[in-house]
Amino acid sequence: MYALLTLAITTLCLCAFQYALLSGTHAAHIEPPNHAELALRMGEIASRRRNGSEAWDSPHGPPAARLGNLTSLESLSYGEELNVEIPSLTAVLPVTSASIPRLEDQLHTLMTRSDYLSEIVLVPQEALQVECRRSILSILAAADYSTFVELSMTPWLAGLDMDTATFHASKQVTTPFLLVLDEDGLEDIDERGQDALTLLSPFSSAVPIGPRGMASTTGSDPACLSASEVPQPAAFLIPPFVAPTRLFLDSGLDAGRRHTDNTWRMFGQTISNARSDAVGGFVVGSDNAESGWCQQEAPSEVAPHEDFPPVVQVSVPNIQNKIPEVDPTLNDVCPSGFGSFAILLSSEDDLHTFSPAACQLQRSGHTLHVAVYGNFSVSDSPSSLKLEGCSLDYSTLFAEDHVQHATALLSWLRSIPSPADIIITSLSKQSFPGAALSLSTEVPSNKQVIHIPQDDLPYCDWIGALTLEEFRNWHKPQVAVSVITNDRPHSLSRLLDSLSRAHYFGDALDLRVNLEQTADMETQQIVDDFAWNHGRVFLHRRIIHGGLLPAVVESWYPQSNDSYGLILEDDVELSPLFYGWIKLALLRYGRPEDTSPQLFGISLYQQKHLELRPEGRHSFNARNTFASIGLSDPSTPYLSQIPCSWGAVYFPEHWREFHAYLSFRLSEYAWDADQIVVPGVRSNKWTRSWKKYFIELAYLRGYVMLYPNYADYVSLSTNHLEVGSHVKDVPIETYMRKKRLFLLPLMPLPESNQSSATGLLELPQGQLPAWAELPTLDLLGLVAREKTLQERGYERRAELTGCEDVASAPYDVWDLLCLHDPLLGLQ
């Protein structure tokens, strides 16, 4: 038996600095240890023993803030003490004759990678013990790191293969998290993968996570999983991967039994057997394609590690009690991209209806806790809804009245192993159990509770594509509907009917109807009789006829930066799924990594014709345009500078700026009314259109709007092109021919006897692309870079104002037009 060698590298601990900041103390200056002196003194302290093994300790010792293997941060909230544990990570690295020349580089990469790394355990082959010690001493002498990392060496037991020896060493680790490496360390792993492996990236901490995984197949051999931006469930992972240490202690592998399967497959099987989703790990990130970890002999037979030796588990002392449980508040320190969802529905039928979203959440790596109300008492063993490619375990809650319903609900919430990040329920907010859910102390904030009406459950497949962060922002955007009407009662009735038939997934939307002074009695009666069940209703009527420009511009004004305006003229008709598109887009492009100040709105209408080219209107197909430039997926939504007036959501900051800009233009404070702002576009002749001025603002700023791009022009809104302010009374043949140019098919609800897919997720990879991946079109429908649009605006601004400096104040019209606000000088 070889002795255990432990060497400590001690310098200023970042965790100690964090502790000092959060606990209100001052961080003292700590001199880094002299590692060369430490190496020379090793012989003097070599006689000290720890548990019968040779050990060397740093003369400086670890920073005082280290408590065992965890760093404790303390903060006060409402007079109570909250203890949060920083995740502590141990890396286990096998060393072979092939990897020993690279050992020092591997150690350097690990030790400078993550502040959560507290220990590295080396597992060298027998003949490499001495050379391994030499590498450790070299690292000690040259190290200048800002973390406390303990280096230790444990023997590679005779007769074991590398995976089994690594597994044996892993069972001796006492930190909450374990990074299992192969002989290559973090070589060939991309940045995203390395971040996940060292707890720097927000991924799950409940199951193994890593860039190399295997999926179960119908044959005896598993298949390699290719890299993907979306985490993929796997039957098992092979190193490198990170996992909670408790999984190794709970694996149940028989120490004295020889197994016919390989180590990591068996490890993944023990994990998947204990989970309702049968997942043994998740593949995140990717590695170098030339690493050769997955050697495919045939398309259907993949053997990443050929001839795996059998597992021989060596008995080790029972140290399970030494492993601290992962604190449920850990996500506050190391947030996870995977969340815990509590789903509470009225019946098993509702669960089946909601299953497309639930199964997608499960496939994305989230943990689901599901309960339904039923006619039987809660059983000890949960039921399971078996679907193609998905199995949903659920509990059944029994109650005879509303009070018992609420009691059973809260009792079930308390039984969930860890607090739910998100609660999704079909219970009405007005029901007793629903109100109890929102007000319960079991739910830290009612923002975590999402009430989806029972009638909306069949159309929720798009909800499964949301990220945990997007779910947390569910209640943040507030959409207000503004309808503009005058004397077209049939058109208004059709629009209001389409609004009533739409699904809003539990959200409240205020409705404002704007009546022109000349509105007829029939139109007024329709408004008086209309019942809106999704929020408040406001009625506004002008006393002096203003025309369409002020009617639109004054129809809505944002209350806050979370307020969004859906502006609808009465000849528009909506898809019953229009709000799903709005919600999906607002949540996706409201994320920090996908937010852009250039986005001024979201169109419901697809562009089928472009009208701004000087030569006149011409047909347009976004998919053909993107295919012609070689875009990998021409079905992607896209950005365009053209504002949509046939059903669109406008953003608060940009709409306020537009109000101010329009005031300057109409008052001629900045330029004459006939000043051409945007060169070479037909909208310069639209003297009575609000779009003329919004186009000017979009051009000067480089602003863009998001447009859908579904097949066959399927849209979330359409325009019936009825006679009004901008459509004149013409012969019926001419009118019908022109109307067909703009009438688009609306996205319908799925048939109840067919697929439950709504069609909203007919997007690249089933989700809205990242902001940087969206193609951009200019006012003429030509592909352009976002930066190019902004540069054109800067140049035109300089020509019009004489200001050479770039406008730097966002949404500030005074700055944009290079004017001085006289009120700024007043006290």
Residue 12 has pLDDT above 60, yes or no: no
Cα 353-357-360 angle, rounded to 5 deg: 135
| Across 739-760, average pLDDT | 85
Q: Among 305-309, 352-356, 795-799, which stretch is predicted with the lowest mean pLDDT?
A: 305-309
What gap in Å lies between CA 824 and CA 827, rounded to an integer?
8
Q: pLDDT: is 567 or 67 the higher one?
A: 567
Q: CATH 3.40.50 spans which residues of the chain?
A: 339-472
In this prediction, residue 17 carries a pLDDT of 32
Residue 240 has pLDDT above 80, yes or no: yes
- CA torsion sign for 821, 823, 826, 827 is negative
For the chain, what percent of residues have pLDDT higher than 90?
45
Q: Among 214-218, 348-352, 442-446, which stretch is predicted with the lowest mean pLDDT?
A: 442-446
Side-chain-facing half-sphere of 821: CA atoms under 13 Å: 9
pLDDT in tens, 679-709: 999 999 998 899 999 999 999 999 999 999 9
pLDDT in tens, 266-291: 898 888 887 766 788 888 876 555 55
Structure confidence at residue 599 as a pLDDT band (50, 70, 90):
very high
CB 22 within 8 A of CB 90: no
| Across 322-327, average pLDDT | 39
| Across 729-740, average pLDDT | 69
Burial class (CB in 10 A: 0-12, 13-18, 19+), 360: buried
Q: pLDDT: is 338 or 753 the higher one?
A: 338
What gap in Å lies between CA 325 and CA 331, rounded to an integer?
14
Encode 374-405: b = buried (16+ Cβ within 10 Å), e = exposed. Answer: beeebeeeebebeeeebebebbbbebeeeeeb
In this prediction, residue 300 carries a pLDDT of 30
> Which amino acid, 189?
I
**Is residue 241 within a helix (H) or strand (E), and if so which, with residue range?**
strand 241-244
- CA torsion sign for 426, 430, 433, 436 is positive
Q: What one-character-per-residue DSSP string does 126-178 give?
A: GGGHHHHHHHHHHHHHH---SS-EEEEE----TT--HHHHHHHHHTT--SSEE
Side-chain-facing half-sphere of 138: CA atoms under 13 Å: 14
The single residue listed with the structure tokens 């004017």 is 819
Structure confidence at residue 617 as a pLDDT band (50, 70, 90):
confident
> Which amino acid, 154?
T
Q: Among 24-38, 601-615, 678-692, 777-791, which stretch is predicted with the lowest mean pLDDT?
A: 24-38
- Polymer length in residues for the chain: 827
In this prediction, residue 704 carries a pLDDT of 98
Q: pLDDT: is 443 or 122 the higher one?
A: 122
Centre a 10 Å sphere on the Cβ of residue 531 and count the other Cβ atoms it contains: 7
CATH number for domain 339-472, candidates 1.10.287, 3.40.50, 1.25.40, 3.60.10: 3.40.50
In this prediction, residue 303 carries a pLDDT of 34
Cα 548-550-555 angle, rounded to 5 deg: 95
CB 369 within 8 A of CB 344: no
506 closest CA partner among 531, 479, 537: 479
In this prediction, residue 287 carries a pLDDT of 56
Q: Phi and psi at residue 569, in whole multiples of 5°?
A: -80, 155
Tokens of 803: 């200001």
Residue 576 has pLDDT above 70, yes or no: yes
Give the three-class secondary structure for 546.
coil
Burial class (CB in 10 A: 0-12, 13-18, 19+), 532: middle
Encode 305-320: b = buried (16+ Cβ within 10 Å), e = exposed. Answer: beebbebbbeeeeeee
In this prediction, residue 337 carries a pLDDT of 67
The single residue listed with the structure tokens 């072979």 is 96
CB 106 within 8 A of CB 185: yes
pLDDT in tens, 503-532: 999 999 999 999 999 999 999 999 999 999
- Strand pairing category for 70-77 and 80-86: antiparallel
Give the three-class secondary structure for 67.
strand
Residue 603 has pLDDT above 90, yes or no: yes
Structure confidence at residue 546 as a pLDDT band (50, 70, 90):
confident
In this prediction, residue 276 carries a pLDDT of 66
How far from chain centre, in Å, is Cα 150? 35
For the chain, what percent of residues have pLDDT higher than 70?
74
Sequence-ordered list of residues with C-beta below 8 angstroms from that of 632, at least 6 positions apart, any chain: none
Sequence-ordered list of residues with C-beta below 8 angstroms from that of 248, at least 6 positions apart, any chain: 167, 170, 171, 173, 178, 267
| Across 179-203, average pLDDT | 82
Structure confidence at residue 62 as a pLDDT band (50, 70, 90):
very low
CB 182 within 8 A of CB 96: no
Give the three-class secondary structure for 179.
strand
In this prediction, residue 434 carries a pLDDT of 75
In this prediction, residue 471 carries a pLDDT of 95
In this prediction, residue 639 carries a pLDDT of 98
In this prediction, residue 61 carries a pLDDT of 38
Encode 11-35: b = buried (16+ Cβ within 10 Å), e = exposed. Answer: bbbbbbbbbbeeeeeeeeeeeebeb
Tokens of 445: 């904030």
Q: pLDDT: is 717 or 71 the higher one?
A: 717
In this prediction, residue 767 carries a pLDDT of 94
pLDDT in tens, 457-495: 999 999 999 999 999 999 999 999 999 999 999 999 999
Q: Among 177-191, 200-214, 251-265, 542-556, which stretch is predicted with the lowest mean pLDDT?
A: 251-265
The single residue listed with the structure tokens 């898809």 is 575
What gap in Å lies between CA 41 and CA 60, rounded to an integer?
13
**Is residue 437 within a helix (H) or strand (E), and if so which, with residue range?**
helix 432-439
In this prediction, residue 214 carries a pLDDT of 86
Average pLDDT over the chain reads: 78
Sequence-ordered list of residues with C-beta below 8 angstroms from that of 721, at least 6 positions apart, any chain: 571, 727, 735, 738, 739, 742, 743
614 closest CA partner among 690, 679, 520: 679
275 closest CA partner among 234, 241, 332: 234
Residue 399 has pLDDT above 90, yes or no: no
In this prediction, residue 288 carries a pLDDT of 55
What gap in Å lies between CA 611 and CA 617, rounded to an integer?
4
